[in-house]
Amino acid sequence: MSAPKQSRPKARLPRGFRDRGAAEIMAEQKMLATIRAVYESYGFEPLETPAFEYTDALGKFLPDVDRPNAGVFSLKDDDEQWMSLRYDLTAPLARHVAANFQHLAKPFRRYQTGSVWRNEKPGPGRYREFTQFDADTVGSASPSADAELLMMVSDVMEALGLQRGDYIIKLNNRKLLDGVLEASGVALDDREKRGIVLRAIDKIDRLGVEGVQALLGEGRKDDSGDFTKGAGLSPDQAHRILAFVAPDAQDEEEHLQQIGTLISTSAVGAAGLNELEQIVKLLHACGYGPDRILFDTGVVRGLDYYTGAVFEAQLTFPIKNEDGEEVVFGSVAGGGRYDDLVARFTGQAVPATGVSIGVSRLMSALASRGALAAVKAPLVVVTVFDKAEAAASFAIVQELRAAGIRAEAYVGTGKMGDQFKYADKRGAAIAIIEGGDERARGEVTLKDLALGAELAKSVESRAEWVGNREAQKSVKRADLVAEVRAILGPSSGIKS
């Protein structure tokens, strides 16, 4: 009887997840360093929280509330307690503040970057794991805290190389919308209906006025035939809300007059309008005008925990999608005020406001414009001519590294030809050879791989240009570092 066939796992990834290579990771590191520098210039300091939180601590605030698992990945620990991977960085912050409230300086200002996970339907460019970079101010009810975040996001966009006109930050206030809902006869404590209305409005850019109007009414059937239940509002109620988010006013002044009329009977709406006016006043005083930060009632944000000012940073330039079609990329950052989130734990009102930059999404847009190339120091590969003399190659590597040059010794088992192929594949700038003859003369050979690659374009085979003396030269061993620096040139960023 033959032995049973051995079962091997398939080399596959779960849907909605992906591997990332060196170029993307290094480009992301460059972006994170830029964002971090801006955040720290505003006085924010870092904090880290774990990937897993107890599920009840995270709360159910995701837009897809109809999903049975509420859009999160969850499991039980040894104590039969439900834990979930964080779906954003704000809910863990609220838990941290509640647990350490007495010891924190208030306002508490922190930034954090890391992966978040959402158990949502994956699609092109939509992954279940992605990176966010947040900054939050906890413990201040002042609209100036919201204004500061708006200014900081604008500074981040420009620090990343975007010009004014390439982006716009849109600002609104949830209290204005609550005022419109209240004036329209929608009870604010009817969380289910209010949630449906908020999610419908949040889709106005994608579905247009007619699509949102259907979702405010009985519901809407999409192109695939799936039906989404609506909020069940009357035509008059839906008209009032649409007049708020999609006004027919000719300018901002007329729009504000319309809003004042819509919320005239609502105290919460009036409070929202006052907060908005204070934010805009401070922004203008600091030189952040409507060319960078603009009032827009269509911004509501999908998360249910926002209580006041809400905002989104959107890119305005077109990029090509996977089908080669030009599309406007849209939102790459967002945030707002969430004054009730910490109170879930403490019962004590703690005002807070924050912003989250979608790093993965923003990086994709910048990469499409060639605005965020990976920054990688040039590499020098030191070949090993004789395996018995490997220590000599490592001595060269250590000398180069001590001089601030990125270098590695070949640790494979290939012959010299294989080592050169390896150096080419690694994108090395220089290969160094020190054989017995070179060592006896007190020399090393430097092969300029970048120059060799250029020469290779005009010859028929690699063998012809490998021996070309323009692409390699022998130098005194004592002059190694200086000669390597000379080949790499000033653009390498290596200090003399």
Query: How far lies 73's CA from each of 91, 130, 340, in Å?
Result: 15, 14, 24
Sign of torsion, CA 190 192 195 199?
negative
In this predicted structure, which of 39-43, 186-190, 275-279, 362-366 has the lowest mean pLDDT? Answer: 186-190
In this predicted structure, which of 158-162, 251-255, 396-400, 482-486 has the lowest mean pLDDT? Answer: 251-255
Contact 275, 309 (CB under 8 A): yes
The domain made up of 379-492 has a fold known as Rossmann fold (3.40.50)
Supply the DSSP symbol for 164.
Answer: B
| pLDDT over 80 (residue 496) | no
Q: Model's pTM, two decimal places?
A: 0.81
Query: How far lies 451's CA from each of 16, 248, 389, 407, 429, in Å?
Result: 42, 63, 28, 18, 9
pLDDT tens digits, 245-265: 776 666 666 777 777 777 877
Report the distance separating Cα 260 and Cα 250, nearest Å: 16
Q: Which position has the token pair 């009632």? A: 297
Query: With bands split at pLDDT 50, 70 and 90, how would you rate the model's confidence at 469?
Result: very low
CATH number of 22-368: 3.30.930.10
Spans of all domains in the chain: 22-368, 379-492
Q: Are strands 443-448 and 472-476 parallel, antiparallel or unpaired?
A: antiparallel
- The shares of helix, strand and coil residues in the chain, as percent rounded to the nearest 5, are 40, 20, 40
Contact 146, 309 (CB under 8 A): yes
Mean pLDDT value of segment 190-207: 80
Please give the pLDDT value at position 465: 47
Please give the pLDDT value at position 233: 87
If one counts every other C-beta atom within 10 angstroms of the C-beta of residue 401, the result is 13
Report the distance separating Cα 132 and Cα 145, nearest Å: 20
Please give the pLDDT value at position 490: 67
Burial of 261 (0-12, 13-18, 19+ CB in 10 A): exposed
**Structural tokens at position 415:** 């012959």
**Structural tokens at position 199:** 């999610």
pLDDT tens digits, 308-361: 999 999 999 887 766 667 777 778 999 999 998 899 999 988 999 999 999 988
Please give the pLDDT value at position 196: 83
Which amino acid type is present at position 217?
A: G
Q: Which position has the token pair 């250590």? A: 398
**Structural tokens at position 383:** 């070949």
**Cis ω on the peptide bond leading into residue 124 (within 30° of 0)?**
no
